[in-house]
Each structure stands twice: as C-alpha cells, then as structure tokens.
C-alpha cells in the first residue's frame, strides 16, 4: 500500500488529461451523434486500446527512447499532425457541402470503421509518449514492485472506458442527436476547425524545433 498515493496521483493526472477536450472527444462525440450509440462505443474501444498501447510502450521505456531518438519522435509527430489535419478537412468538407445539414450520410473519419478512427486519433498524438514518460518519472519512484505496472494499465483502461463511454452515451441520446441534426453544419465546421488547429499547432511546434536544431 506504500504506492497507493502514487497510483492515485497517476490516475488523477490521466483523468484530467482525458477530460480536457481534444481529438478523442471530437471523434467519440461525432460518431455517437451522427452514426449510432454502437459506433460511438466502437470509437471509445479504439481510444481505450490505443491509450493502453501508449501506456505499455511508456512502461517498456519506448517513450524515453522516442525522446532520445529525436528524428523518430519528430517523424511520428509529423504523421500525427498530418492525420489530424486530414480528419479536420474531411469534417470541413462535410460542413460546407450540401450534406452538411445532417440529412445525408456523414463523412467517414477513418474508412468505415469507427474503432480504427478511435485508434488512429489517439495514436496520432505522440505527445502521449511524453506525457506517460513524464508521468512515470513524477508519480512513481524507481524500482516500483511488479504489480504496480499492470495496476496502472488497468486504471487507465477503466478510466478511459468510463469517461469516453459516458461521452458516447450522452452524445447518442435522442436530445443530443436532434441538436446535432439541427446544428450539423456548424458543428462539423467547429469539429473540423478544432482538428485542423490541433494538427497545425503540432506541425508548428515541430517546425520551431527543427529551426532551433538547425541554428544550433
């Protein structure tokens, strides 16, 4: 039980990070409101699986290796920025097109598979590697016993499923879906703008780092 405060701190950090509106929230909410509760929950499953993958990679030290191999980390961030911008453009096209009133078929964010949309959206944020590597350094002392790490994986999985699952259930309610249909064009434009802004922010950070490295 000596590590209970550390686990509580790590769980709190993760939950706060999940609750901040971002790409995961956009994808889960969008699929739940435009497609069905089932598709929204499939997107949640994708987010949970990808979140667990980041955690396992961080536990295995891959996050630290990414930070050490700067070129690889930058390449992953470039791919992530490109994916976020791609999704944002798809949403903007839906909002600006003739089907942006919620009456036509919604755009596909990652083929026809909401699960893969959740996976790709979460994996497209390589900053997760930095977060989890930093979180372990801050919240856990070195040489933690073996049971701590599977406990962390379980905490992240349960918290992610509960939080994003709650969002999916909320956005798939009749009232939320009716509101979306009424405001579909504007919500698609808003969601697309958010995704593009996040992608451009990530790309700009990468550009600044490359310029600083080249000047040094």
131 phi-psi bin (left φ>0, alpha ψ -120 to 50, beta other): alpha
pLDDT at residue 104, as a whole number: 45
At 15-40, the pLDDT tens digits run 888 887 788 888 899 899 888 899 99
Q: Does residue 106 or residue 38 have the better pLDDT?
A: 38
What per-residue confidence (pLDDT) applies to 180?
Answer: 77
pLDDT given for residue 81 in this prediction: 78
Percent of the chain surpassing pLDDT 70: 79
Q: How far apart are CA 187 and CA 101, in angstroms?
A: 10
For a pLDDT cut of 90, what percent of the chain falls above it? 20
In this predicted structure, what is the pLDDT of residue 39? 93
When pLDDT is averaged across residues 98-108 and rounded to a whole number, the result is 49
Phi-psi region of 22 (alpha: psi -120 to 50; beta: other; left: phi over 0): beta
Give the separation between CA 12 and CA 5, rounded to whole angstroms.
Answer: 10
User: Which DSSP letter does residue 173 get?
Assistant: S
| 75-79 average pLDDT score | 74
Give the model confidence (pLDDT) of 156-178 as tens digits: 999 999 999 999 999 999 888 88
What is the crossing angle of helices 148-171 and 23-34, to 10°? 40
Asked whether residue 63 carries a pLDDT value surpassing 70, the answer given is no
Answer whether 96's CB lies under 8 Å from 89's CB: no
């Amino acid at each position: 039980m000596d590590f209970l405060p550390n686990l509580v701190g790590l769980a709190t950090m993760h939950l706060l990070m999940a609750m901040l509106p971002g790409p995961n929230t956009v994808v889960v909410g969008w699929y739940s409101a435009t497609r069905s509760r089932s598709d929204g929950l499939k997107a949640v499953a994708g987010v949970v699986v990808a979140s667990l993958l980041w955690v396992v990679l961080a536990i295995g030290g891959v996050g630290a290796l990414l930070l050490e191999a700067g070129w690889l980390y930058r390449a992953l961030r470039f791919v992530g920025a490109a994916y976020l911008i791609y999704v944002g453009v798809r949403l903007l096209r839906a909002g600006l097109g003739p089907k942006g009133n919620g009456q036509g078929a919604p755009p596909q964010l990652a083929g026809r598979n909401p699960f893969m949309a959740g996976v790709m959206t979460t994996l497209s944020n390589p900053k997760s590697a930095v977060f989890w590597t930093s979180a372990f350094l801050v919240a856990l002392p070195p040489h933690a016993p073996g049971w701590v790490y599977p406990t962390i994986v379980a905490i992240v999985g349960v918290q992610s499923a509960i939080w994003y699952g709650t969002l999916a259930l909320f956005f798939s309610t009749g009232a939320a879906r009716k509101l979306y249909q009424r405001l579909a064009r504007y919500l698609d434009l808003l969601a697309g703008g958010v995704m593009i802004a996040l992608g451009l922010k990530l790309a700009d950070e990468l550009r600044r780092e490359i310029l600083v490295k080249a000047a040094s």
